[in-house]
Amino acid sequence: MARLADGRQLIYYDDGDGEPGARPVDSRELPELAVASELRYDPLVDEWVAIAAHRQGRTHLPEVAECPLCPSRNGAKTEIPAADYDVVVFDNRFPSLAADVGELPAGDDDMVPRQPGIGHCEVVCFSSDHNGSFAQLTPTRARTVLEAWADRTIELGLQPGIEQVVPFENRGVEIGVTLQHPHGQIYAFPFAAPRTARMLTTARSYRRRTWRNLFADVLAAERKAGTRVVAENEHWTAFVPAAARWPVEVHFYPHRQVPDLPALSDAERDAFCHLYLDVLRRLDRLYDRPLPYIAAWQQAMVNVDRDLSYLRLELFSLRRATDKLKYLAAAESALGVFINDVRPEDVAQRLRDLAD
């Protein structure tokens, strides 16, 4: 573990057991971080919202020579002091949540409780190659990324107040990615994310009725039907959910119920990497151009409902045709009603046909 010039933490994860290259100190002069995140409780829907006004000035699609996620070489001084790296994880310079967010400003509304925006926002660089992508990683490298996710899940779960850890990747300018270097993020929240909380509520209700696990039964039904399965191996199945919200949506479930990434066996870790790389490459062939997507791990909360939880990755894209995106307009954004213009069975069939 190293520290950047402004005190942020940075960790290198290497592919092999070989000697890593030089790891120089960060010699930049960086202004101190000023994070002013605040959580406000929305009493209408019983959910927390983060207000993070300091993020308005964050770096936005810099030129390649200015990329802060490339290694520091040829005179450039970036977020990563080393001249090369395999995988690196460090604290986001413009975090939505942080360990130290200063004093909570006074509120003026008893209906809307407030809390300091405590949490963690980390950046995970998948490769030092600016023009790479997750789909282009070797299985070895994908495994190093998975090890980093699992390691950070443990470490962040031990930090004060943290209730949920979520590794994810936003990919593509179409969904607002502000840096094009291949990278993901890890958020650690001091509460259950609304979608996660919702799924745990339904899983609890399902277990009360059936004595069974909801996610295991969803997986079993998809494997039995087969019409929406995209690919599978001994340990994992990738399928388009029957009630998919997005024109392209693929969920990755392990065949064994485990609560989180650290609980995966060595064989399950390798099997995930092979299946995920296979499906990602099909997704980039779907429209003959890199697919913008969001991929997020749903794993167990740190402290509660671990017995109900079932680790899985949810990936989806708003691209509904080569030249068209799905927009979230009033139905989705104001009402929560998703209208999907693509039949899940059709996109699953297309993805099956795109096998190597």
Residue with tokens 């990936």: 315
CA dist 225 and 74 (Å) reads 55
Cβ proximity of 200 and 259 under 8 Å: no
Catalytic residue among 183, 235, 251, 255: 183
Q: Cβ 284 to a copy of itself, closest distance in Å?
A: 19
Cβ partners under 8 Å of residue 320, min gap 6: 247, 248, 326, 341, 342
Instruction: Assess whether 183 carries a catalytic annotation.
Output: yes
Indicate the residue among 76 and 338 with the shorter CB distance to a copy of itself: 338
Q: Cβ 330 to a copy of itself, closest distance in Å?
A: 4
Q: Cβ 40 to a copy of itself, closest distance in Å?
A: 4
Backbone angles phi, psi at 308, to 5 degrees: -80, -25
Indicate the residue among 187 and 252 with the shorter CB distance to a copy of itself: 187
Indicate the residue among 12 and 134 with the shorter CB distance to a copy of itself: 134
Cβ atoms < 10 Å from Cβ of 173: 10
Q: Cβ 20 to a copy of itself, closest distance in Å?
A: 30
Indicate the residue among 86 and 122 with the shorter CB distance to a copy of itself: 122
Collapsed DSSP state (helix, strand, coil) of residue 356? coil
Nearest to 26 by CA among 120, 91, 121, 87: 91
Nearest to 240 by CA among 316, 135, 167: 316
Known catalytic residues are 183
